[in-house]
Amino acid sequence: MTMHGKGGMTAHDPELNDLVQQARVARERAYAPYSKFKVGAALESSSGEVYTGCNVENASYGATICAERGAVMRAVAEGRKDFRRIVVVTDAEPPAQPCALCLQVLAEFCGADFEIISVNLQGGTEKTSLGALLPRPFNGIP
């Protein structure tokens, strides 16, 4: 299933609103002195737990960890490997999508139907799926 959609905040979906709020709080904790671009993520497991992440930059730029991957690492460390959706909050218009590196990391655990919900500070929202953004993830050496 592929979902594409644009819209404002989702007053009719309180659980999604809660995820968005948690991602916004995580974004405030981002360590982004080099790019100044803060990202917050909230990853929901299939059993309903939420793991947040923010980008953590480094003076050696390539050592930077994105918000989405930070959230995945936390979840796996807590024993979760099945996920429903992720909310990514940025101050970007249109709302930013996860980078390809993060999509590949998500694809290790999530199928094509995994929901990716990008939200900006104005409440602009775009919903899509892992399968839409990364239709052919690398699946390992044959």
Positions annotated as catalytic residues are 68
CB 95 within 8 A of CB 39: no
**Least distance (Å) from ligand THU to the CB of residue 60?**
13
Cβ proximity to ligand THU: between 11 and 92 the closer is 92
Cβ proximity to ligand THU: between 82 and 99 the closer is 99
**Least distance (Å) from ligand THU to the CB of residue 77?**
18
Q: What is the 3-state secondary structure (H, E, C) of 30-50?
A: CECCCCCCCCEEEEEECCCCE
**Least distance (Å) from ligand THU to the CB of residue 128?**
13
**Where does this chain bind ligand THU (CB under 6 A)?**
32, 35, 37, 39, 55, 57, 64, 66-68, 98-99, 102
CB 104 within 8 A of CB 139: no
Cβ proximity to ligand THU: between 16 and 71 the closer is 71
CB 124 within 8 A of CB 8: yes
Cβ proximity to ligand THU: between 47 and 63 the closer is 63
**Least distance (Å) from ligand THU to the CB of residue 106?**
10
C-alpha Rg value of the chain to the nearest Å: 14
* Torsion angle of C-alpha atoms 45, 97, 128, 68, degrees rounded to 10: -10
CB 128 within 8 A of CB 4: yes
